Amino acid sequence: MHSKDQICHDDYQKTADWLLSQTQHRPKVAIICGSGLGMLADALKLQDSFHYADIPGFPQSTVQGHAGRLVFGELKGKTCVCMQGRFHMYEGHSLSKVTFPVRVFKLLGVETLIVTNAAGALADGYCNGDIMIIRDHINLPGLAGLNPLNGPNDDKFGPRFPPMSGVYDQDLRRLAKDICKSLDFSQFLQEGVYCMVGGPNFESIAEARFLHKLGADAVGMSTAPEVLVASHCGMKVFGLSLITNKVVKDYEDTEKVNHEGVLGVSKMRSETLQTLVTELVSRLDINNNTA
C-alpha cells in the first residue's frame, strides 16, 4: 500500500490470490447487493463465504442492511461472487477503497458485474417497489472531481481516459426486459437514469428538483464508482435500482424518507429481485471453470 488513498496492483493481486487459495470457485459474474438486498446471495448453491474482516485488504461495511460478507457459489450452474454489503463514500472510505472489490473481481476472472441499489424516485411515474433497469448514470461526485480513477492510471486495468457512453450493456438490458415480460414483472419495471450523490443526507426539495431537471429518474449514494471502475477494466455492466421511496419535490409534501423505510421496501421486493437476477445470470453466455 502506498498512501492511505493509493492502492497498487500488488494490493489487489494479494487479495485476489488469497481468495483463490480459499475457494475452488472461479466466478465470471460478480453481484453487488444494495441496501437490504443481501438475500440475493442466498440463492447461491455450494457457498463459500468470507467475512470482509477476514479478507486481507478488504474494507469493512458499516451500514445497516449491508452484512459484510463475500459469498462465492453457483447460480443456476453459473459461478458467481456476491458482495453482501457494499462500501459508500459517506462511510469515510476513499473511492479507491469503495471500488477495491471490483478490481479484485477482475483479477479473479470476473467478466460481468451486476450492481443493485436502493434508490429514491425522482421520475413522476415511479412507485415504491418499482424495479428500474439502469440505462445510464449521472455521477455527480465524479463530475465534481471525486473519481476512483484519480491518480496515476494503472494501464494493466485500463486506459487513462475511458469512455462512459453505453456503459450499461444494451444486450443485458434487453435480456432483462424480456425476462421481466416472461415473468410478468413488466407492471413494476422501469428503465431510467440513476444519479449518484455523496450522501449521507437525503435530498432537500430544491436538490431533488435540480436532479430531476438534470434528467435523473432515481437517486442514491452508490453504484457510479463501482460501475466506472468495472467499465474501465473491460467488464460488462448491468444495473438495477429498487425504488424504495419517493423523493419529495413539492414544498406542500411533508413526507420524510428514512433508512428503515428504505430497508422495508427492499425486503418486500428482494425475492422478486432475486428471481430476476437469477434468471438473468442463468441466461448469460458464459462458460464455467473451476480451480
Ligand X SMILES: O=P(O)(O)O[C@H]1O[C@H](CO)[C@@H](O)[C@H]1O
Ligand Y SMILES: Nc1nc2[nH]cnc2c(=O)[nH]1
Residues making up the binding site? 35, 66, 86-88, 118, 203, 222, 245
Task: Give me the amino acid identity at 62.
Answer: T
Q: Residue ranges for the binding site for phosphate? A: 35, 66, 86-88, 118, 222
Q: Nearest approach, Cβ of 30 to ligand X (angstroms)?
A: 15
Number of residues in contact with ligand Y, rule: CB under 6 A?
15
Q: Binding marks (x or -) toward ligand Y, 112..131, rule CB under 6 A?
A: ------xxx-----------
Catalytic residue among 245, 266, 270, 279: 245
Catalytic residue among 49, 67, 90, 150: 90
Q: Binding marks (x or -) toward ligand Y, 179..218, rule CB under 6 A?
A: ------------------x-x--xx---------------
Given ligand Y, ligand X, none, residue 120, with its beta carbon under 5 to 8 Å by kind, binds ligand Y
Which residues have CB under 8 Å from 207's CB, separation 6+? 197
CA nearest neighbour of 46 among 72, 18, 17: 72
Catalytic residue among 41, 43, 83, 221: 221
Integer angstrom CA distances of residue 84 from 66, 136, 208, 213:
6, 24, 29, 33
- Is there binding between residue 247 and ligand Y (CB under 6 A)? yes
- Is there binding between residue 97 and ligand X (CB under 6 A)? no
CA–CA separation, 245 and 256 (whole Å)? 9
DSSP 8-state class, residue 63? S
Q: Residues 98 to 117: which contact ligand X by CB under 6 A?
A: 117
- Please name the helix (run of DSSP H) or strand (run of DSSP E) that holds residue 238, with its range, or none: strand 236-246
Region binding ligand Y by CB under 6 A among candidate stretches 51-59, 101-109, 161-169, 243-251? 243-251
Which residues have CB under 8 Å from 79's CB, separation 6+? 25, 26, 27, 28, 29, 72, 73, 288, 289, 290
CA nearest neighbour of 235 among 108, 148, 112: 112
**Residue with smaller CB distance to ligand Y, 28 or 246:** 246
Would you say how long the chain is, in residues? 291
Catalytic residues: 35, 66, 88, 90-91, 118, 221-222, 245, 259
